Amino acid sequence: MTIRLTEIWVGIFVAAGLAALFMLAMKVSNLSSYSQDGGYEITARFEDISGLKVRSAVTMAGVRIGRVTAIGFDKDTFEAVVTMTVEGDYNTLPKDTSASIYTAGLLGEKYVGLEPGGDETNMQQGDRIKLTQGSMVLEKLIGQFISRFLDSDKEAKN
Amino acid sequence: MKSVMDSLQSLGHKGSGFFERLGRASILFYHILAGVPGLFLRYPLMIQQIYSVGVLSLLIIVVSGLFVGMVLGLQGYNTLVDFGAEESLGVVVALSLVRELGPVVTALLFAGRAGSALTAEIGLMKATEQLSAMEMMAIDPIRRVLAPRFLAGFFSMPLLAAIFSAVGVIGGYIVGVGLLGVDDGAYWSQMQAKVDLHEDIYNGVIKSIAFGVIVTWIAVFEGYDAVPTSEGVSRATTRTVVHSSLAVLGTDFILTALMFGEH
Amino acid sequence: MSNSSDILVSTRGLSFSRGSRQIFDDIDIDIKRGSVTAFMGPSGTGKTTLLRLIGGQLRPDSGKVLVDGEEVHALKRAQLYQLRKRMGMLFQNGALLTDMNVYDNVAFPLREHTDLPERLIRDLVLMKLHAVGLRGARKLMPSELSGGMARRVALARAIALDPMMIMYDEPFTGQDPISMGVLVNLIRLLNDALGLTSIIVSHDIAETAAIADDIYLLSGGKVVAHGSADELKQSGSEWAKQFIEGLPDGPVPFHYPAEDYAHDLLNGGAA
């Protein structure tokens, strides 16, 4: 095995390894939708954000237009403060856009869905979404359902 | 009563023996690291070692990666189809490989193939007095023999793990999309949505680097520390495979808990 | 730091033990410059250990080893390595590096320790190989060499850096008469031609006595006889007599220490 042949094989090996890493980064991971230059930040406050995480998706009309970048807590109003970065391309969001927290699929993870309002001026860096709907907590829903069921039952009996 | 005392004594002996070996191994590690900077001026040594440690492991890594990926495709499909979630097959295959199977299985295979070869080679050099001869020629065997091999292993492992994962994803594709009818687009798009560059890929690479250090360190130490007889070398080779496998699995648990635990 | 005295290597009060066995017990040795000095004795008396002590691979329990005026075990690592460049060592099985051919093996110390260009290295390697008669074998791999040839290549490698002394660890063991003759001649020839000091550790009387200027007999951790070959033959020492004549029993006993024979036989049953 000459030195030359060995070197060629090592070169092939390193190239294959780098190619594999590249493939993993490009085709397998979310690198392609990763570039966030020119994004702008907006905030929204929610009563309940259970399950929403940093890096959860922010969508409008089902299309992902940004990500949750920070989750905080307001000690005075006891609300959750969610900071989102919207990609720079999507800068025509009306100022009265509303935000709700949905679940992807039945047991899936939470994401923020934005619905456009009718305002003519657009959202800028640092703006706040006023209308929000917190995440649906399963237990509360079941509780509501049961109490409503019991109420109607009572009415029926009377 | 005496036998209880004897067992306790031998246990203590083994325990202190363990620490003794760990101490020697750490000192060796320090000497190897000290010899690393000088290596960058000596390419031919490195190239030769990367060849014998990395390139020669390619076959087993690629074949294993392919089969593991295909099995993941098969088993993943069988389980997901019960939940009507077979379109998520890509996610299952990719995450399993990139986070766990890629680094870990590659490390285990590497320990068996390259690790044992390293130990045997170095042990044999010790048994035939080649290391001693080098010392008497005023050449430090740690710098000349051990350091290049260590660096080669450290360098090759992440590349091999990446190749394993990539080939595995393709294997899962062949089985899932090709044989079982999962939608082509769904396989890749769901995967891309759920596999995160930082969380999954980077962490997987960090794991494989850590495993590379551990496996190569153990392999090189066992060879250098082997009793210089044929029996001693064979026992050292066995120890390399067993100890590195256990160390890899243990470290995997710790790293996984740190990286993927609930933040 | 050169010392133009007569003595190149000496030990004073050298003691070394391995486990419970005392290998050397307060030994004093002087090896003259330019001479061929032999250390002989029954197997297991630690002759190889002596070479390792001189080369600094082992540390004595007490006593000093001096090489060319420098105390070996007081040297720092870098200085020890400098000293070793001036020592050549021939191991019992040659200890050639198995992954390179003969040429590369001999070139190894030159490439590692000097910045000489390859043309010069080639000349040197060919000269050294020619001196041991193996210039034509330079492309062979160590696995293709016979034992005797491997030792000769190792010898060429040992003289590659033109050392001031060479240590031979059992060079004649297991050789056929012709290879033996070749080696014996080579050792003496090189010693005189290159102005070396040679230290031979061996138990082959005839060969060693033929070329050694000075012989030390070691047994039981001590020097039991010392002198030239003729002096030893004529000395009245029982040790010398047993060794030189190859008698099975004498100061070195035939029987490994054991219980009384009759007692052992009659009480058979106890393991």
The model's confidence at residue A29, banded by pLDDT at 50, 70 and 90, is low
Can you tell me the ipTM of this complex? 0.80
Q: Is residue A125 part of a domain?
A: yes
A107 and A136 housed in the same domain: yes
* Contact between C91 and B133 using a beta-carbon 8 Å cutoff: yes
Please state at what angle helix B43-53 crosses helix A3-23, rounded to 10 degrees.
60
Q: Is residue A149 part of a domain?
A: no
B48 C-beta neighbours (distance < 10 Å), count: 19
A58 and A77 housed in the same domain: yes
Rg (CA), chain C: 21
Residue type, B119: T
Predicted pLDDT of residue C2: 45
* Contact between C112 and B144 using a beta-carbon 8 Å cutoff: yes
Partner-chain residue, chosen from B159, B192, B196, that has the shortest CB–CB distance to A32: B192
Residue A110: domain span: 40-144
Predicted pLDDT of residue C268: 63
Side-chain half-sphere exposure of A110, counting CA atoms within 13 A: 18
**Over chain B (263 residues), what is each successive 10-residue block's mean pLDDT?**
81 80 88 83 84 91 95 91 83 90 94 94 92 89 90 92 93 90 82 77 91 94 91 94 95 89 56
* Contact between B165 and A24 using a beta-carbon 8 Å cutoff: yes
Q: Is residue A155 part of a domain?
A: no
Q: What does the pLDDT average to over C55-78?
A: 87
Predicted pLDDT of residue C227: 81
A44 and A105 housed in the same domain: yes
A82 and A4 housed in the same domain: no
A44 and A122 housed in the same domain: yes
A86 and A104 housed in the same domain: yes
Say how many domains are in chain A: 2
Residues of C with CB below 8 A from B49's CB?
A: none
Buried b / exposed e across C26-57, counting CB within 10 Å, b at 16+? ebebbbbbebbbbbbbbeebbbebbbbbbbbb
Q: Is residue A157 part of a domain?
A: no
Q: Is residue A150 part of a domain?
A: no
Q: What is the pLDDT of residues A67-82, one digit of tens each?
A: 888 888 888 888 888 8
A62 and A104 housed in the same domain: yes
Q: Is residue A63 part of a domain?
A: yes
Asked if B159 contacts B165 with a C-beta cutoff of 8 angstroms, the reply is no
Partner-chain residue, chosen from A20, A30, A55, that has the shortest CB–CB distance to B163: A20
Predicted pLDDT of residue C3: 46
Q: Give the predicted TM-score (pTM) of the model.
A: 0.79
Closest CA to C172 of C157, C187, C162: C187
Q: Over pLDDT 90: what percentage of chain C?
A: 15
Predicted pLDDT of residue B9: 83
Residues of C with CB below 8 A from B138's CB?
A: 81-82, 84-85, 109, 113
A81 and A10 housed in the same domain: no
The model's confidence at residue C1, banded by pLDDT at 50, 70 and 90, is very low
Q: What does the pLDDT average to over C81-94?
A: 88
A17 and A83 housed in the same domain: no
A45 and A114 housed in the same domain: yes
CA distance readout (Å), A106 to A103, A114, A132: 7, 19, 21
Q: Phi/psi of residue A36, each to 5°?
A: -120, 30
Work out the minimum CA distance from B48 to partner chain A, whole angstroms.
7
Count of pairs with CB atoms under 8 A, one residue in A, one in B: 83
* Contact between C112 and B139 using a beta-carbon 8 Å cutoff: yes
Predicted pLDDT of residue C251: 66
Partner-chain residue, chosen from B130, B132, B138, that has the shortest CB–CB distance to C85: B138
- Cβ neighbors of C147 (< 8 A, separation 6 or more) are C93, C94, C174, C175, C179
Q: What does the pLDDT average to over C101-130?
A: 91
Q: Is residue A134 part of a domain?
A: yes
A117 and A79 housed in the same domain: yes
Are chains C and A touching, using the cut-off of 8 Å on CB pairs and a minimum of 3 such pairs? no
Q: Which residue of B has its CA nearest to C112?
A: B139
Q: Which residue of C has its CA nearest to B145?
A: C97
Structure tokens at B76: 């993943």
Instruction: Say whether residue B132 is in contact with chain C using an 8 A CB cutoff.
Output: yes
What letter does residue B83 receive in the DSSP assignment?
G
Please tell me which chains touch B, using 3 or more CB pairs under 8 Å as the contact test.
A, C
Q: What does the pLDDT average to over C66-81?
A: 87
Q: Is residue A151 part of a domain?
A: no
A27 and A44 housed in the same domain: no
Q: What is the pLDDT of residues A98-118, one digit of tens each?
A: 888 888 766 667 888 888 888
